[in-house]
């Protein structure tokens, strides 16, 4: 596994995550993004954004 491949994979995961966040705009989208990216921080931010959007 090269650094370039890992970086590209990570960026792709974030792009997919953001796309689902925009499409879903919900905790479901955040959970799916977490599964796709494997990134706890991004999922936490998405969950917080979803709560703000709902309130």
1-55 residue pLDDT tens: 577 776 777 788 788 777 776 766 666 766 766 677 666 676 677 788 888 877 6
Q: Do 3 and 23 contact (CB within 8 A), yes or no?
A: no
pTM of the model: 0.33
Look up residue 7 and give its two tokens.
Answer: 């970086």
Q: Do 16 and 42 contact (CB within 8 A), yes or no?
A: no
Q: Do 40 and 34 contact (CB within 8 A), yes or no?
A: yes
Would you mind telling me the total number of residues written for the chain in this entry? 55
Domain ranges of the chain: 3-54
């Amino acid at each position: 596994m090269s650094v370039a491949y890992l970086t590209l994979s990570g960026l792709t995961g974030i792009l997919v995550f953001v796309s689902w966040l925009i499409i879903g705009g919900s905790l479901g989208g955040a959970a799916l993004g977490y599964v796709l990216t494997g990134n706890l921080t991004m999922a936490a931010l998405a969950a917080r954004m979803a709560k703000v959007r709902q309130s």
